[in-house]
Structure 1
Amino acid sequence: MEKSLFERLGGTDGITQIVDDAIDAHMNNPQVSARFLPYREMPEQLALVKKHSVEFFSEGSGGPTKYSGKDMSIAHRGMNISPAEYMHVLDDILETLDKHKIDEGTKKDVLSILWSLKDMIIAQ
């Protein structure tokens, strides 16, 4: 029997490490860092963003954790995220998956989920 996406991402621990590294990558990416660097001065908000990201990917990949955050459209309302920024974030996530030695099939599954969210996030 094939492993779930949740299992292939390393379960809660693996997803947590991926989220931490992806957010670090966003903070170091000059194309999107302005959106993420302010969280360094708001550690409680950063912890909440990470918590919601872990929950979102856990639930969305077949894990046991339920997402407790806002709907994607509501969470990104007023941010006016451009298509280019969205692509930079996706690139950071894919590079993070490479860093964690995630296989190509699993990366494609993650990309499919991220791509399905595009219209809920861009230009909201």
Structure 2
Amino acid sequence: MTDTLYTRLGGAEGIARIASDLVDNHIANPLIGKRFAGSDPVAMKKKAAGFFSMGSGGPNTYDGLDMLSAHKHMNISDNEYMAAVDDLMKALTNAGAGDREKAEVLYIFYSLRPDVVGV
């Protein structure tokens, strides 16, 4: 039996590290960082970890909005979305994720694109 993506990414601890790095990367990113001005990084990291856990086959601890509701009227561009993808890949690399895991996360992330870009 194959382990879930959640397990392969290190379970709750690994997902929390990835989510923390992801949020830090977003905040520091010159293209998208301004969108996070005034946000609570601790709360964002918790939401990101919950979403990541749910989406990778772990426990469903996510209590936030669905992606369309969360991004509606933000008019996120393709360039901003790609900057977020780059931030995610950096977080996964920093966590020591393998190519298989990165590909699976990338697939999930791209499946969410219609609910994020240009809505």
TM bin, normalised by shorter chain, reads over 0.9
Q: How many residues align?
A: 119
Q: Which amino acid aligns with 1:81?
A: I
Deviation track 1:26-78 (CA, whole Å, cap 9, x = no partner) reads: 11111111112332xxx3xx333222211111111111233211111011111
Partner of 2:14: 14
Normalised to the residue count of structure 2, the TM-score between the two structures is 0.93
2:54 paired with 1:49: no
Partner of 2:35: 35
Q: Percent identity?
A: 40
Q: Which amino acid aligns with 1:61?
A: S
2:55 paired with 1:60: yes
Equivalent-residue separation in structure 1 for 2:90 and 2:42 (angstroms): 22
Q: Secondary structure at the match of 2:76?
A: coil
Normalised to the residue count of structure 1, the TM-score between the two structures is 0.90
Equivalent-residue separation in structure 2 for 1:111 and 1:18 (angstroms): 14
Give unpaired runs (5+ residues) of structure 2.
none
Say what the alpha-carbon RMSD is for the aligned residues: 1.2
Partner of 1:80: 75
